[in-house]
Amino acid sequence: MDFKTIFENNEKWIAEKLAQDAQYFEKLSKGQNPEFLYIGCADSRVTAEDLMGLQPGEVFVHRNIANQVVATDNNINSVVQYAVEHLKVKYIIVCGHYECGGVKAALNPSDMGQLNSWLQTLRDVYRFHRAELDAIDDTQKRFDRLVELNVREQCINIIKIDHVQKSWYKTGYPKIFGWVFDVRTGKLIDLGLNMEKEFAEVRSIYDLKTF
């Protein structure tokens, strides 16, 4: 595919949207009011709006390698703050996916240059759960399980963020969910995490108690 094809596709997309609603772009230009913040992987196979069946303006999206929520990453922290304080999102979703290259790299460590520091957080997830993971003989199942555990750990990292805690104490939102996208079937899987319970278990460590 070349750039010419991309711009031709854009013209077709515009025509389709206007055929459905002549004021589509006029409405779109007036602002966004999404209820969801989606934090996912940068993998080109995993596009938030498509897999959720949502339209532009309905989901605020942040993507990085292996859907990490890193305390020292100004990018993700700025996204969370904007989503919570300004957009007033009701739900934060951390969505991993099976066959994730970042997770595979954590299971099979090697020198990856600039990626080493980014993947360290993911390798820490492996270290936290090494006994469980190493007890899984099937390589594919171990790979899939680390994908799931990584989502859980990143959801826990979300609850540590001050902007999230401030909003909780004021409004009870946002609610936090951990999902996995199965690229082998197209299905979204809700991991059924209970983040209120998770926070209660670590509250004495991470509750900032200033709100």
Q: pLDDT tens for the chain, 211 residues: list them.
A: 789 999 999 999 999 999 999 999 999 999 899 999 999 999 999 899 999 999 889 999 999 999 999 989 999 999 999 999 999 999 999 999 999 999 998 888 778 788 888 888 999 999 999 999 999 999 999 999 999 999 999 999 999 999 999 999 899 999 999 999 999 999 999 999 998 888 888 888 888 875 5
pLDDT on residue 211:
54
CB distance 38 to 60 below 8 Å: yes
Q: Residue 199: which residues within 8 A CB-CB, separation 6 or more?
A: 159, 206, 207
Tokens of 148: 């799931």
Reference 43, options 113, 98, 117; nearest CA is 98
CB distance 175 to 91 below 8 Å: yes
- All structural domains of the chain, each given as residue ranges with its CATH number in brackets, are 1-30 (no CATH), 31-206 (3.40.1050.10)
Q: Which residues are catalytic?
A: 41, 43, 45, 97, 100
3-state secondary structure string across the chain? CCHHHHHHHHHHHHHHHHHHCCCHHHHHCCCCCCCEEEEEECCCCCCHHHHHCCCCCCEEEEEECCCCCCCCCHHHHHHHHHHHHHCCCCEEEEEEECCCHHHHHHHCCCCCCCHHHHHHHHHHHHHHCHHHHHCCCCHHHHHHHHHHHHHHHHHHHHHCCHHHHHHHHHHCCCEEEEEEECCCCCCEEECCCCHHHHHHHHHHHHCCCCC
CA dist., res. 173 & res. 68, Å (int): 21
Reference 92, options 157, 141, 138, 29; nearest CA is 157
